[in-house]
Structures are given as C-alpha cells and as structure tokens.
Amino acid sequence: MSHQLPESLLGYWGKNRLDSTPQIGANHDLEAIQSWLNEYKDSPETLRSYKREAERLILWCWQQQGRALSDLNRQDIANYQIFLADPQPRSLWCGDKRPRTSPHWRPFQGGLSLASQKQTLTILKGLFNYLRDADYLRGNPLALIKSITKQTTPRKTKRYLEQADIALLFEQLPMQADNAKSHREWLRERTLLAFLYYLAPRASEVASCKMNDFFQRRGRWWWRVLGKGKKYAEIPVPDALLSYIQRYRSHLELSPLPEPNDDTPFIRSIAGTSGISANMVYRLSKKILLDAAAQIEHSEPEQASRLRTASTHWFRHTAITHLADQGVDLRLVSKTARHSKLETTAIYFHAEDDAWHNAINPSPTPLVEES
DNA sequence: CTAGGTGCCATGAACGCAAC
DNA sequence: GTTGCGTTCATGGCACCTAG
C-alpha cells in the first residue's frame, strides 16, 4: 500500500499537522499510523481490525479525495461515513472475500450497517486522539462528533439454550461409536460440550487451554484462564466436568487427572498431541448442535431450529443463564462469567422479570414451569 | 476495545491406485 | 517394493461483518 501512495498524499504538509516535534518518530502520515498500530502489537485481533480501518481510510483519502490523512476535517469525516454506508463505485471498492494478496481483493464486501459504521468511527477516533496526543496533529476532527455511541445492547440476552436443549445434547452420551477414530471424535465432542457448559469459556479460551490450567488447591479443582482483555481468573471446576476430563485423558493414555507440569493442549486434534484453533472449536460446536438437531428434526422442529441457530458463544450465554435460573447469587455468577461489571451479568437474570410479570399479570395457569 | 460468527482458501498428511 | 500423482480429510488462517 505505502509504496503506491504519491508523496504529496503522505501528509508532510497536512493542514492539520502540528509544527512542534511529535512524541512519536513519524515524519509522515503512514509512519504515524504505523506507530499507532504498533501500540496494539500484543492484541492480534485488535491490531487486525485497526489495520483494516486505517487502510480503508488511507485508500479513500487517496482515491476519492486526493488529500492526506492529516488534511481531513469534520466535514471529510462526515463524507467518509456516507461512503462507508455505500462505497461507490462498487466495482472499485467492493468484492467477495479474497486473500489480501489477491488481485481481486477489495476493501469492502458492501456497504456497512449503521452499527459497523459507528464501530469504524470509534476506531478512527482512537487513531486521531492518538495522533493529537502525540503532538502529530493539531486536533481530532472526530472529537467533534456528538454521539458515536452505538445503540445499547438489548437488556436481556436471547442467545441461549434451554435446559431441555442441554439435556438433549448430553443425552447422546450413551451412544456407542463404531470404530476407534469416531470414538475419539465423539469423546472429544462430549468433553468440549461439558467444558463449554460448565465453565462458559470463549472459543479462543478453549483453543488456548492447557491441561495444567486445571489444577488442585486445598483439595479442590480450579480452572485458570487468561481471558478477553488479558484478564486473569481462577474458576471452580464442577465435579461433572472433572469426570469428563478424566475420561478424555484416560482415552489419550494419560493419567486421569491433569499433572501440574503438563502444559500440553487440553482439547486436541484427532491425529496427535497438537491443540486445535478457535475456528475448529467453532466447527466442533456447530457439529454437536447440528447432529442433535438432525435427531429431533421431525419430533421437535422448533427445538431443532434453535439448536441449528446456536453457536459456540451460545454455550457461554447458556451457562450463565442457567446459573442465574438456579438461583446462584449474582456476584458469584459474575465471577464465573468473568464480567467486569455486574450490570453485564444482570442481563442474564430472567427469573425476576418472570416473577414481576406474573405479579402484574396473574394467570389461571402457571406461566413458569416447575423444575 | 476486544472479541466472536462465518465463509472461503491454503496446506499438509493420509490414502488410493497405477506405473515403474 | 517404491515412486509418483491425484484425491480426500482435518485443520489452520485470513477476511469481512457484528456483538458484547
């Protein structure tokens, strides 16, 4: 990208440049952006998405505006948002997903939704704040925007499974596999299912989980995890999960319980000792759900449809919702979910809503099933 | 900010089969 | 037997969009 950019658009003399020596070693816009990106070198997902937004903006500056990043003002940013909603001409800006190196690669698939436009602006606001704070720019044209805030997330989550769904998924346990390989696959699926349901990990946390992330202290088993935002936590391991771990480890011809020095992957590839990626966690989760859906396709079409819609992250929501339904204290559910704010956990507490509704709207028949 | 969801493509091991 | 080559399968990784 950089080698194609004409020198006049690098922003050596951008209208928004500050004359004083910046805090970063950058002579022009691309170096300044590189410096910003470098701050995220330890967060690969964030880095990737920031890089994409920076590249889109640079390409737009170049192609549409013929000006540098450090020339942009509030009106340019407004125009950019309009452009994001519908990048024109489409033939130049939009195309199917392709490897970045492909000649058919395009910056967009199509126009961005409102939520994605706002997400883009939030990222760019961070970029311009950085450039301003580094004394590279005089000001931040995005700081003038009054409300980038996205619409608040729905107060109650819907993306979870019912008790009956989880029971169905676990019920397939007694099934016998017909050969050694499929037995191994099946055992891995059950272990993954138990992991997802009992400890509510994110897909990436499953992929990075090591055997000795399960450890014993004072006679009790705990799971340690470095989660989203590099937040460290230790979570109590339910006995039900521990028995799945034992079975899976025994099948792998390991001692039933994890050894403190065993830092090999927990969930493994079929072939050998290597672990699996987050993508694979997603695919295995979908397989578990689709297989179960197929079994009840005719008897319970509605349940089958729900199972087909679900994905890895649903198990996390499901685990949290079911803990809440069981009457576990909000603070303790919050600790298992590793939410930083109690309000986030409160989204999963539906029981009080039900009771409230029942009180306001008494019904001759019970609305809430006894369990 | 820092993920997850989802589709597509690349890769490399395993496999099958035929030519040598 | 082994060499070579096409196919298949499991998996990783990238890309774009969206959620929490």
| CATH code assigned at A228 | 1.10.443.10
- pLDDT, tens digit (0-9, with 9 covering 90-100), for A317-370: 788 878 877 877 777 787 787 776 666 677 676 655 666 666 666 654 444 432
**Quick check: A220 pLDDT over 90?**
yes
* pLDDT score, position A154: 40
Please state, for a pLDDT cut of 90, what percent of chain A lies above it: 4
Name the residue closest to B9, CA to C1'.
A99
Residue A311 (CA) to nucleotide C9 (C1'), in angstroms, measures 23
Same domain, A316 and A181: yes
Instruction: Answer whether residue A284 shows pLDDT above 70.
Output: yes
Residue A316: domain span:
163-359
Statement to judge: residues A214 and A302 lie in one domain? yes
Last residue within a domain, chosen from A144, A174, A199: A144
CB A13 within 7 Å, strand C: no
Is residue A242 domain-resident? yes
Please report whether residue A368 resides in a domain: no
**Local confidence band at A67 (pLDDT 50, 70, 90 cut-offs):** confident
Question: Which comes out higher in pLDDT, residue A31 or A141?
Answer: A31
Nucleotide nearest to A270 (CA to C1'): C10
Distance A112 CA to C18 C1' (A): 10
Strand B reaches within 7 A of the A344 CB? no
Better pLDDT: A150 or A291: A291
The stretch A24-33 carries a mean pLDDT of: 80
Nucleotide nearest to A97 (CA to C1'): C15
pLDDT higher than threshold 80 for residue A39: no
- Residues A85, A117: contact at Cβ < 8 Å? yes
Which positions of strand B lie within 7 Å of protein CB atoms? Answer: 1-10, 13-14
Q: Which has more confidence, A119 or A181? A: A119
In this prediction the pTM is 0.73
Kindly state whether residues A206 and A84 are assigned to the same domain: no
Residue A271 Cβ < 7 Å to strand C: yes
| pLDDT tens-digit series, residues A264-282 | 888 877 765 677 877 777 8
pLDDT at A155: 42
For nucleotide B3, give the residue with the nearest CA to its C1'. Answer: A228
Strand B reaches within 7 A of the A317 CB: no
Q: Are residues A174 and A293 in the same domain?
A: yes
A171 lies in the same domain as A293: yes
Say how far apart CA A233 and CA A172 lie, in whole Å: 32
- Considering the domain boundaries, does residue A34 fall inside one? yes
* Per-residue pLDDT, A228: 64
Give how many domains chain A has, as a whole number.
2
Mean confidence (pLDDT) of chain A: 74
Of residues A101 and A286, the one with the higher pLDDT is A286
Higher per-residue pLDDT: A181 or A324: A324
pLDDT category at A311 given cuts 50, 70, 90 is confident
From the Cβ of A123, is strand B under 7 Å away? yes
At residue A279's C-alpha, the angle toward residues A260 and A167, to 5°, is 75
On whether both A178 and A128 belong to a single domain, the answer is no
Are A90 and A41 within one domain?
Answer: yes
Domain-embedded: residue A365: no
Domain co-membership, A115 together with A66? yes
Q: Is the CB of A242 under 7 A from strand B?
A: no
In this structure, what token pair is assigned to residue A245?
């771990």
Can you tell me which residue has its alpha carbon closest to the C1' of nucleotide C15? A97
A96/A167 same-domain check: no
Residue nearest to nucleotide C19 (CA to C1'): A153
Query: Where does the pLDDT of residue A93 fall: very low under 50, low under 70, confident under 90, or very high at 90 and above?
Result: confident
The answer to whether residue A158 sits within a structural domain is no
Cβ-based neighbour number of residue A149 at 10 Å:
8
Do A121 and A169 share a domain, yes or no? no
| Closest alpha carbon to C1' of C18, residue | A116
Claim to verify: residue A117 and residue A182 sit in the same structural domain: no
Which residue's CA shows the smallest distance to C1' of C13?
Answer: A279
Q: pLDDT value at position A367?
A: 41
Asked whether residue A192 is assigned to any structural domain, the reply reads: yes
Average pLDDT over residues A149-168: 63
Q: What is the CATH number of the domain that holds A136?
A: 1.10.150.130
Task: Single out the residue in A144, A173, A201 at which a domain terminates.
Answer: A144
Cα angle A278, A283, A285 (rounded to 5 degrees) comes to 95
Asked if A37 and A94 sit in the same domain, the reply is: yes
Task: Quote the pLDDT of residue A338.
Answer: 76
Please check whether residue A156 lies inside any domain of the structure: no
Tell me which range, A137-146, A156-165, A293-302, is most confidently predicted by mean pLDDT: A293-302
Residue A178 domain-assigned (yes or no): yes
Which of A114, A144, A174 lies at the terminal end of a domain, its last residue?
A: A144
pLDDT top residue among A336 and A106: A336
- Dist. CA A84–CA A56, nearest whole Å: 10
